[in-house]
A and B are shown apart, each in its own frame.
Chain A
């Protein structure tokens, strides 16, 4: 057991390390010079070439690339993400605040997806060919094929503009104003959860149908178990196992989706932070938030994997 956990944790660390290299190199390749943008923004001040050079040196941009990477990585490992090149604020603090917002919305959506998706899938599978099944299958297809931003726009149009029962945009933390926070969260959480619900429902449906054809289900019937017992004791656990492995993917989907959802609903989370920095060519912010988003995904996948090892008795811990 312990060796299994250690191996999985080491694996996760290696992945984070490689991700940081990929992100770092991609950021170096970004066009546009942040220092020039900074200079242009502060045009009122007189800039001599020496002063620009000095600014570059102070931001560490004159070091060789490997040195820059090691510096950045070791600082990041200590929780220091540096200072925004263009706006001079502490990135770590920003990331912390914004990660809370993204995680609140993301985890709510994840939990909803975790419960609703498999439930719909099971109902759909045991009522195969009936109207419930058709309804679930068609809705799941729409959930997968409709772009998130489009669903968001539709919902805003319907609930916020026509019916005027929900706010159009913005976000309030639940401990600041719970009522406002819930009202503002409903649409973004729903839009974020839609993909996971649809995917889990589809996966559960097909895995239940697969388990139904297994020999041990025939054994259960042959033992005289009734429909309810066969379903609850024999089908459920076996068919949910592959769905559990899918949950790591769901988290990746949710974190990736935050980029779009937060932009539509103007929510100050990590996703919006990343896109704004991207458009403003703020290197350090982009690399910091991209790495943090990935770490969130890696960590949650790790948890899912360990849970899976705990659920499936066939996984050997050696």
Chain B
């Protein structure tokens, strides 16, 4: 499998009233073709912003991509301007995105038909009539009953789960190489959430699409993804395959997260404390304040680079790696 996406040193900042917030801090990761990658972390840790940065959709102002490269199929996307024709041609065609809020992510003033066909018309120059047929076909593939009628509905006439199915259908229309699902199922009921995850999984398998699944739920990740990136306070702190991380978490934060995954008959152990503020952070390990493995040396040195544990397993924690003893 070839390499599809290589993100290197991505850094995104927001200017706010209280100072500069570095929401994404020197983030690097890769996605291979038709691979499913999970991006896990607490809310506010910069998962979504990192993905919006890849698409150049961070609202500017106040947000700004400060550094890094996003290499997609051999071209650095960040060399294009946000609103350039090249960038627009990639969004929705090669990379699609599914957002968290099904209630507000569809335009309330346009029918499903208008919102879906415009993607095909824009990117592939499809005739409106054919585009409508293709949209209806895609709606039936994502399990919308009576798609020929539903296609003329307005978003407010659909339930939350239906809308998210429409979002999935819309993302799949141009058969993209990569789909980014940003907490795509978080806002839904548990049963509908499960249905949608299965749907998404089936669709990307069927079309050999790569998928980046952004979530705060490690349980979801374990079931579907090949590799996991764990993010904390704007940094990726651990990365590896599901097996590697499950068997041997090499960052105290990942270990804490795993203890929070509900298992029958076991007591949950919460991570004490709150995620740190991202405003004007010092360069030390961001998890320091909540870390039960912290050493004196942690307070004195800046956060380590990702270091290989074994195979594809990387971590930033130098203490658990034993390098600092």
Residues of A at the B interface (CB closer than 8 Å) are 213-216, 218-227, 229, 233-234, 237-238, 241, 312-314
Contacts and interface: CB of A to CB of B under 8 A. Distances in A.
Question: Looking at A220, A227, A312, which has the most chain B CB atoms within 10 Å of its CB?
Answer: A220
A313 B110 CA distance: 8
Interface residues of B, number: 31
A216 B57 contact: no
Contacts of A314: 108, 154, 156
Q: Which 8 A-B pairs have the closest CB atoms?
A: A224-B92, A223-B92, A224-B91, A215-B104, A216-B107, A222-B97, A313-B154, A237-B109
A268 B137 CA distance: 65
A214 B99 CA distance: 12
Interface in B34-80: 55, 57, 59
> Which interface residue of B99, B101, B105 has the most chain A CB atoms within 10 A?
B105
A237 B110 CA distance: 9
Contact of B106 (A219, A227, A241): A219
A219 B103 CA distance: 12
A224 B107 contact: no
Contact of B118 (A216, A222, A233): A233
A218 B51 CA distance: 13
B122 interface: yes
B321 interface: no
Nearest to A314: B156
Contacts of B167: 219
A226 to B, nearest CB: 5
Contacts of A216: 104-108
B23 to A, nearest CB: 16
A213 B104 CA distance: 11
A313 B118 contact: no
Nearest to A312: B109
A122 to B, nearest CB: 16
B91 A221 contact: yes
Contacts of A237: 109-110
Given A218-B57, A221-B91, 8 more contacts: A219-B107, A219-B167, A222-B57, A223-B91, A223-B118, A223-B122, A225-B122, A238-B107
Contacts of B83: 226-227
Contact of A222 (B89, B91, B109, B122): B91
A65 to B, nearest CB: 50
Nearest to B82: A221
A70 B156 CA distance: 47
Interface in B176-226: none
B122 A229 contact: yes
Nearest to B155: A216
13 contacts: A214-B104, A215-B104, A216-B104, A219-B106, A222-B55, A222-B92, A222-B97, A223-B91, A223-B122, A224-B92, A224-B122, A233-B118, A234-B107
